[in-house]
Chains A and B, each alone.
Chain A
Amino acid sequence: MNVNIRIEHALKKYGDFVAIPDLSLEIRPGEFFTLLGPSGCGKTTLLRMIAGFNSIEGGDFYFGERRINDLDPAKRNIGMVFQNYAVFPHLTVRKNVEFGLKNRKLPKEEIREKTDKFMKLMKIDEYADRLPEKLSGGQQQRVALARALAIEPDVLLMDEPLSNLDAKLRVEMREVIKEIQNRLGITTVYVTHDQEEAMAISDRIAVMSNGVIQQIGTPKALYQRPANRFVATFIGRSNVMEARIYAENGEKGLEFKGGFRQPMHNLGDVQNGQPVVVSVRPEELIIKGFGNDVRSAIKAKVVYSTFLGLNTHYMVEFEDGGRAEIIQESQIDDIISNGTVIDLGVNAEKINVFTEDGLTPLIV
């Protein structure tokens, strides 16, 4: 039952506007795959092309070996979960879950058995005879999920299913979704704009922007080795700093503004003096001390600090006016007071370096 999804050279146009120019990707059988990106990046458009609710202007879509471009949505054997639940308000919970099974014209006992199974799985069996308006948002989304899963689809598609829920329920529901998906092993395509949600739930993530996939990878790969500046700043937080490459005496490294030099061992093909952008996550900036020589540290002044228990955040300002955020594990000592000039270093293993345009990674 587990199928892979293959998309080759997908093209989507709305009139003259090209929403997705040329997109290819492959989703493995049983994988939890997430399309992540800011609003308007084309992620929902792509999902709806897979579902059959959007026309396909070019390219080929396959479920396994079957080309589905021209297949009616009703015949694609997909389960779909919508942002606004789309639970039928005039039908009871049971009738909602049964709906797809009845369309398959299965025998009565089988319908009843499967409906019970999935209502139990989603823990909504006690509401079986209620109308959806009597249920909370989280419960309605459970109904929607049970309904989508009951037809035992080849592919489960979810379009921002949690964005209408409040923060606490969102976390709870995403664990429910993850667990059910693991247990059933169903190939799942999930759309969200919430990168934390995507990281928490996905096997792999495709980060999209302007209809183009920027990077596909595991949450860990995306966070630690983003493919470009967009991914670096979209996934988690990153301070972007300007620097130059130096290559002298067989040693290569980064020279920051102000003259601080950081030797690097993982730089790829670079030239001496080449301008680059460095993406440094807040936890990769290290406070080394106070009042050292400009050559041995980056100078910055604390603007304000935020104590959050486990961590303390500092907003600092460089001499050229640029700002950066630092996250440090909270110390037992006093918090560094505003206005203090501090010396910064970077975690050379973790930071990422891109070409000046931010498009190509220079770390190998």
Chain B
Amino acid sequence: MIRKKGFNFWVIASLAILALYLLFMVYPLFKVMSQSVIDADTGGFSLRYFKQFFSQPYYSGTLINSFKVAVSVAIVSLVIGVPLAYFYNMYEVHGRKTLQLLIILSCMSAPFLGAYAWILLLGRAGVITQFIQNVFGFTIPSIYGFKGILLALSLKLYPLVFLYVSGALKNMDNSLLEASANMGCTGMKRFLKVVLPLCMPSILAAALMVFMRALADFGTPLMIGEGYMTFPVIIYNSYVGEVGTNHNFAAAISVIAIIITLFFFLMQKYLSNKYSFSISAMHHVQRKKASRLGSFFIHLFAYGMVALSLLPQVYLIYLSFRETSSAGIVFLDGYSLKSYQQVFSNMGNVIWNTIRICGSALVIIIVLAILISYLVVRRRNMINGLIDTLSMIPYIIPGAVVGISLILSFNNKYMPLVGTATIMVVCMCIRRIPYTIRSSVAILSQIPISIDEAAESLGAGRVKTLVKITIPMMLNGIFSGAIMSWVTLITELSSSILLYSFRTQTLNVAIYTMVSKGADGRACALSTILMLFTVISLLIFNKFSKDGEIMM
């Protein structure tokens, strides 16, 4: 391409985006790092917060706890997700579309809600616990602590593994399977020797994703952990400060968290480079009919998993229709719509906040993601390469850390953003944009450059080509990506819990604050509304997405 015009639209776009990243991400992260080594009392350089963290087992233990949770959740999710994806893509399963929708749905709510519902089901006073106690006369083991976290998070995160591995299996060429069968390698042996290695890049990516989410999740341990502390909880506590706020200490923990996630990110990169290869299927895998017995177990496994992971949500829906006491905090016998009445009369602003904050974030994310992916794919240069790298950083930064960094940076008189809706929008953009950019880049890379050149040779300028040709061609993919972003945004908790104020409370934050105080009919009603949002979004997604392919 000839680029002679010095200062055109694209240069301005590059510089503007770079400036946004510098202001809202690089500066805040820098602030976190500097705060972590500054003594709050003297203002001088000090490593005392790091010392404090590592010398007191109360704090350093959380690191080990988080680590244990993240690794265990990743392993359990792989153990459930990989076989599920394999069965789903290799064998005939009844109700395929519905099954996939249900699997996706089960990962589309905030994990803490799952934990909350599991407490109501299996906790000390849980309905199942009491049922077993009354009928069989023995007490089921406690689900509080590590086990509960593992249960709630694994059931929430295995769908990610399922989606990633399904994607890889869809790209596998049937002739590879036939070739290996031809050479006498079938069944379990073929699964281990051919299928699994071919899916390895996706499996690793999924494992990292699950690991990161489990590591960064803080609602679940707070809800069901009962003293089993993980580091996001410590960050939250040292910020919210039941024992006195300490921003510098929160910053120090954030730095440690970033170092850990960075390490795992690099390890995953290294491993998937080793396994990387590209396959694109000319002949898609033909799904087989399993034997009677096999088919029975496949269905039992698939639908059993889905039922188990949807059980909490279903139970919450049920509770939302139960009669409650007038304050809404005690469930009574009988059914009513009282919870919904209370929600709509008192908490309409929460629903409106969710729509306006997440909606504006979504619009900004889409516009920026289109621009950035275009710059990265079509206008490769040093600045755009830098933007590419910067845009991927939030991928490895836990939500609580993003929240803390923004609070530390914009709590001054020049840019007093803390407590505003703007800071929540900014935070959501930063957190979600890497995913949207990645999917936009994937879509754009599939559009051959000759399409752009054809438009240009027919007399269309650069911007006109983008608006009339490139964006319309990307639209389908962008739209389905946008719906997934929307669902993620409305269920975001770990940073909005730090950033919200009375005026900017979102659905998810409201639910959290209510359920953290105990049983609550209004919370159940709100979470049902949230679920309804999610289901509608998913149905729209299914309508518009060509192949039901989901980019998380």
Contact = CB atoms under 8 A, between A and B. Distances in A.
Contact of B448 (A79, A86, A99, A148): A86
Interface stretch (B182-190, B282-290, B344-352, B451-459): B451-459
Interface stretch (A7-15, A51-59, A177-185, A194-202): A51-59
B453 A104 contact: no
Interface in B169-198: none
B76 interface: no
Contacts of A104: 459
B57 interface: no
A99 B455 contact: yes
Of B456, B458, B460, most buried by chain A (CB within 10 Å of CB) is B458
B1 interface: yes
A2 interface: no
B4 interface: yes
B546 to A, nearest CB: 11
Contacts of B460: 74, 99, 103
B458 A72 contact: no
Interface in B1-32: 1-2, 4
A73 B473 contact: no
Q: Which secondary structure dominates where chain B touches chain A?
A: helix
B450 interface: yes
A73 B448 contact: no
B458 A86 contact: no
A82 B4 contact: no
What interface size band does chain A fall in?
A: 20 to 34
Interface string A28-57: 000000000000000000000001110100
B10 to A, nearest CB: 15
A85 B284 CA distance: 25
B450 A82 contact: yes
B227 to A, nearest CB: 57
Given A70-B4, A88-B469, A103-B464, A147 B458 contact: yes
Of A88, A144, A151, most buried by chain B (CB within 10 Å of CB) is A88
Contacts of B450: 82-84, 86
B472 interface: yes
A282 interface: no
Nearest to A55: B2
Contacts of A147: 454, 458
Given A52-B457, A87-B454, A103-B458, 5 more contacts: A74-B460, A80-B453, A82-B450, A86-B451, A89-B473
23 contacts: A51-B453, A53-B453, A70-B4, A73-B2, A73-B453, A74-B456, A74-B457, A74-B458, A74-B459, A74-B461, A75-B459, A79-B457, A84-B448, A86-B448, A86-B454, A87-B454, A88-B473, A90-B473, A90-B475, A99-B460, A103-B464, A104-B459, A157-B457
Top 7 closest A-B pairs, CB basis?
A100-B458, A103-B459, A86-B454, A86-B450, A80-B457, A82-B450, A73-B456
